Amino acid sequence: MIIRSRAPLRIGLAGGGTDVSPYSDQYGGAILNATISLFAYATIEPLDTGKIIIHAIDKKEIIEFDATEELPVDGELVLAKGIYNRIVKDYTHKPLSFRLSTYVDAPAGSGLGTSSTLVVAIIGAFAEWLKLPLGEYDMAKLAFDIERKDLAMAGGKQDQYAATFGGFNFMEFYKDDKVIVNPLRIKENYLNEMQANLLLYYTGTSRLSSKIIEMQSVNITAKKEKSIDAMHNLKEQAVQMKEAILQGNLGEIGEILNYGWQFKKQTAEGISNPMIDEIYEAALTAGASGGKISGAGGGGFMFFYCPKHTRYAVLDRLHQFGGEFRRFQFTKTGMTSWLAR
């Protein structure tokens, strides 16, 4: 028996950063995101050898342990170890023997929520194998708790919920880690037009998002007015983006993206840099009406809204920077798991 799962990566269209504590606890956050046809995959093969084998195929990393109730959460493949420990602690209460293989369609640190999406995919595979009673909110909350609490990794709340639920969602964040996911019913022709006009561009560099996120949190805790006001404007941007998309005012998307990008850069240092600024200005000069970096910032993926016929001019203009364009489609489903016999 083989158990498989996959979960979609996401692009954050508006409100990024307002899902991070302590801002979301004190003021409430709002984000609009959409999942895309890039995925994190997990495969579990039960073993009777008394061994645990974890293989990150994309990273070319493999580790092996004797089956035990708790794996050491240090060194390589910490996420997978942390998930296993929580599954045993909360559900099986005894060691498991298996081979876990994973693969992600985008590099770590690229700004598409790769780490959290991988966590959701792995949990989904365990849930399918062990028939765990996990609904969508349960699974997303478990993924969040493992990353942010068990493993003490800095970050927000949106990625786990995006990967679990899938589709276009307007998410609201409150104190005590409360999250409300509002799926958006968007007309198909609006989705087609957005997909035709959005360009996803990988800068060729990755970054450690936790450092930027920690700086944002420090700024909010220190009551730095500039950072807090920027977050307030990002939350308002999420509302503006939701209304524009639902009402079919797609010509406003680029302007709203640009509005958010200017405030995003004010939340912490390191979100942009000279290379990112140059790419962004080149895209606008070629005809893009707006854009932003995906995720916390500092590198990874950027995306641009290119209305009318400007898509091809922007494609041509950005080739000089040596990055890579990724084709994608919006997805309507989140984490999916199945048995392959």
Cβ–Cβ < 8 Å for 242, 212: no
Rounding to the nearest 10 degrees, give the CA dihedral for residues 314, 315, 318, 320: -130
CB 40 within 8 A of CB 104: yes
Residues 6+ apart with CB under 8 A from 90: none
163, 7 Cβ separation under 8 angstroms? yes
Of 305, 251, 323, 314, which is closest to residue 282 (Cα–Cα)? 314
What does the alpha-carbon distance between residue 40 and residue 274 come to, in Å, rounded to a whole number?
A: 31
Check: CB of residue 43 under 8 Å from CB of residue 4. Answer: yes
48 classed as catalytic: no
DSSP secondary structure string for all residues of 38-91 = EEEEEEEEE-SSSEEEEEETTTTEEEEEE--S----SSS-HHHHHHHHHHIIII
Nearest-5° angle of CA 77, CA 79, CA 81? 75
Catalytic annotation, pick one of 159, 177, 277, 316: 159
User: Is the Cβ–Cβ distance between 327 and 198 less than 8 Å?
Assistant: no
Catalytic residues: 159
